[in-house]
Chains A and B, each alone.
Chain A
């Protein structure tokens, strides 16, 4: 945000902050060890407010839970902003010094009154007002979020709406104040940092910037394509138009993880050529023309990963991979040589040192220093640099460090793409449970005694209305398809909202139901909001 693709703050800061706003994140379940830091903060006296459609395990630790209707986050954020401005709790000096567009922003959010927002979000006006005042008047405050914010058709606008709140109050660029998106996978951050984004080179350098490109071209001795590539969602669009006919997938299982997954499978099946490089014979790998068996990145191979606090840390080989499985970097290096591309750096450390010559934010992170410091947080531009605990301190510098001020963004409430209807009257949202992970490729392989998450959780009111009992098998349908599921009646579940996980595609092909309408700015699908119907089994279904 504000020009850098990473969370602003260190984990340690949440232990010392005064106010935690947990928004669309069930960190207690999905990021348990991060939540230990949150709990230390609460123990040290921080207040925590939770915004979530569900009374999650995390929200149960909060001073207040704002049970928001799915997909109405912008209405809530804009109402918080309006209330902060109307009560004169914003930070005029900071706004004047470090931001642009405040006047238009204030005008824009003026229609988001407490009552208007209460009607849209389902959160009481008094609770919205209380949160606005607590956040704005805290000495330091952090906003934490995860996929509850981003897995919407307007996920980027959701994020920008939260950034507005930080700019309005000056809760950014200081120790204990910041914006913290928790990353869902162990190297999502590192993947982006290393240029695994369609428009970026490593270190967030733009593909279409000729000066940045030149560094890479000189090193590799080849001209680089200046046109940004496609992200995953656009690749599927291109497949549907016949513009993309070959795919090389490394460590991803889209045949189970994509929203509207039946469509995704059809498109994958229609490819002329599919290569899958993975540690397991996943459902996606089963569809491939060529499968390249890979070693396990974190336990059989050397390298680095980067965490949600921008900490680059070493992974190391503890085990010898099975016969025939090869390291990702060896496979890719050999492929490059087959294509007659010079590939001078071959070992993980050589590749890393090469990266350090190309990405200034990683320059000071030698393997030896990473070892010595238990990892380092980027940016770390030279060998004497201690790494950076929090980002954007320039917002407080006299000349803004020579940068442009940070702009307010104008965002408008639009609700989920798929409206509820008489045919599909229940909102389905998805999330993780503690002991499982994504499509279960890793987590189904250990014998957890607390395994759960394949059921559809509904409220006692909905169960009564639909005449359903605990453990009953039902048919769940969305406009895209139907699956059989088992009902769990969950006391804390709000009326009209159903919840389940996506960890057990072999039992419940859940992504048959989810909505693949996606955010044009991020490419992320609206996994968090589908419209469904729950039907009792007929004699035919039971057969």
Chain B
């Protein structure tokens, strides 16, 4: 066996992968699903949510599959009671303090693992929500699970704007701009790449928020069409989410070689001229 490959066993299935491959990637190559929350294919794992933990033979603690590299000869189990109990508790703790109603993937996991958050009472008080500081997107931090994805996308994993970070510790920890200034006064450039990676809909387009407020957000009636942005010559793929012949939000595929799922303010939000042009001169921000 050469140095650039390692062989291991996952759920009794042998597999050989390139050195540096994570347990998550190796498991995926075998068709074994491992739930994730803070992991995304276009971000460096923040390694904070503990939802992807698995059991490694000989290891004292459970290990995070999303960021732990495969070791030669390792024996991994993704389906033990210990793993399930750990994941169940993570889900219960998240559900006890956060409104997860707008994250269908977490709802599915809550059902799958039988998580019951009612046994945790008197949860931490979330921030008043939502924050609406402009016409493009809202921040509803009562849904925020502190997965760090938005912070990573705003920082070194894509945008390098560093407009947001995690402020404070423990129950007070929260995503914040510098000195908690309103977003338009921060370093934010409104690329919306934080929205693109948010797993709980804590960050969402104002268009989606308004439709939900009007009880008119109908995912079942929406279509997604891939096209190319109309602005500069980079050629970013846009996924136009439409409802009733109106664009309601815009995303980009994380696996695309041009965008890696990330866009700029024009691509993400610059389509409004198609349907409800609103003139906003620079003197009236």
Residues of chain A at the chain B interface (Cβ within 8 Å): 11-12, 30-34, 36, 39, 43, 61, 182-189, 280, 296-300, 305-309, 311, 313-320, 374-375, 434-437, 441-455, 504, 506-507
Chain B residue, CB-CB nearest to A186? B230
Give the docked Cα–Cα distance between A504 and B257 (Å).
Answer: 33
* Whole-angstrom distance between the Cβ of A152 and the nearest chain B Cβ: 19
Complex Cα distance, B225 from A316, in Å, reads 7
Q: What B residues does A445 contact at CB under 8 A?
A: 270, 272-274, 277-279
Given A299-B271, A319-B247, A319-B274, verify A34-B234 contact (CB < 8 Å): yes
Residues of A within 8 A of B156 (CB): 43
Q: B273 near A307 (CB under 8 angstroms)?
A: no
Tell me the nearest residue of chain B to A501, going by C-beta: B282
Report A-chain residues with C-beta under 8 Å of the C-beta of B18.
none
In the bound assembly, the distance between CA atoms of A36 and B134 in angstroms comes to 25
A sample of 29 inter-chain contacts (CB < 8 A) reads A11-B257, A11-B258, A33-B234, A33-B267, A34-B234, A36-B158, A184-B232, A298-B228, A298-B230, A307-B228, A307-B235, A308-B233, A308-B234, A311-B258, A318-B242, A375-B235, A434-B189, A436-B266, A445-B278, A446-B269, A446-B271, A446-B273, A447-B135, A447-B272, A449-B133, A449-B135, A450-B188, A450-B190, A450-B265
Given the known A-B contacts A442-B230, A443-B266, are A313 and B273 also in contact in the complex, defined by CB atoms under 8 Å? Answer: no
For B264, give its contact among A33, A306, A317, A453 (CB under 8 Å). Answer: A33
Once A39-B160, A318-B242 are accepted as A-B contacts, the answer to whether A31 and B232 lie under 8 Å apart by CB is: yes
Chain A nearest CB, measured from B224 CB (Å)? 8
Q: Is B285 engaged at the interface, CB distance under 8 Å to the other chain?
A: yes
Contact of B256 among A314, A318, A374 (CB under 8 A): A374
The reply to whether A446 and B278 contact each other, CB–CB distance below 8 Å, is yes
Q: How far is the CA of A309 from the CA of B270 in the complex (A)?
A: 23
A32-B191, A33-B236 given; A451·B280 CB < 8 A: yes
Q: Are B190 and A319 in contact (CB under 8 A)?
A: no
B281 contacts the other chain (Cβ, under 8 Å)? Answer: yes
**In the complex, B183 has a CB within 8 A of chain A:** yes
B259 CB within 8 Å of chain A? yes
Per DSSP, chain A at the interface is loop
- How many B residues have CB within 8 A of the partner chain? 59
CB of A411, distance to nearest CB on chain B (Å): 25
Check B195 for interface membership: any CB of A closer than 8 A: no
Given contacts A187-B233, A504-B281, 11 further A-B contacts (CB under 8 A): A11-B257, A185-B231, A186-B235, A311-B258, A314-B228, A445-B277, A446-B278, A447-B272, A447-B280, A455-B282, A507-B282
CB distance B234 to A448 under 8 Å? Answer: no
A189: nearest residue on chain B (CB-CB)?
A: B233
Inter-subunit contact A504/B282 (CB<8 Å): yes
Question: For residue A304, which residue of chain B has the nearest CB?
Answer: B228
Residue B106 at the chain A interface, CB threshold 8 Å = no
* Bound form: Cα–Cα A449–B285 in Å: 5
Collect the chain A residues with CB atoms within 8 Å of residue B235's CB.
Answer: 186, 305-309, 311, 313, 375
**B233 x A188 contact (CB < 8 A):** yes
Max count, chain B CB within 10 A of own CB: residue among A61, A297, A318, A450: A318
Chain A hits for B245, CB < 8 A: 319-320
Residues in B whose Cβ lies below 8 Å from that of A447: 134-136, 272, 278, 280
Residues B229 and A186 in contact, CB atoms below 8 Å apart: yes
Q: Which of B211-243 contact A (CB under 8 A)?
A: 223, 225-237, 240, 242
Residue on B nearest A371 in the bound complex, by CB: B226
> Which of A33, A189, A297, A313 has the largest number of chain B CB atoms within 10 A?
A33
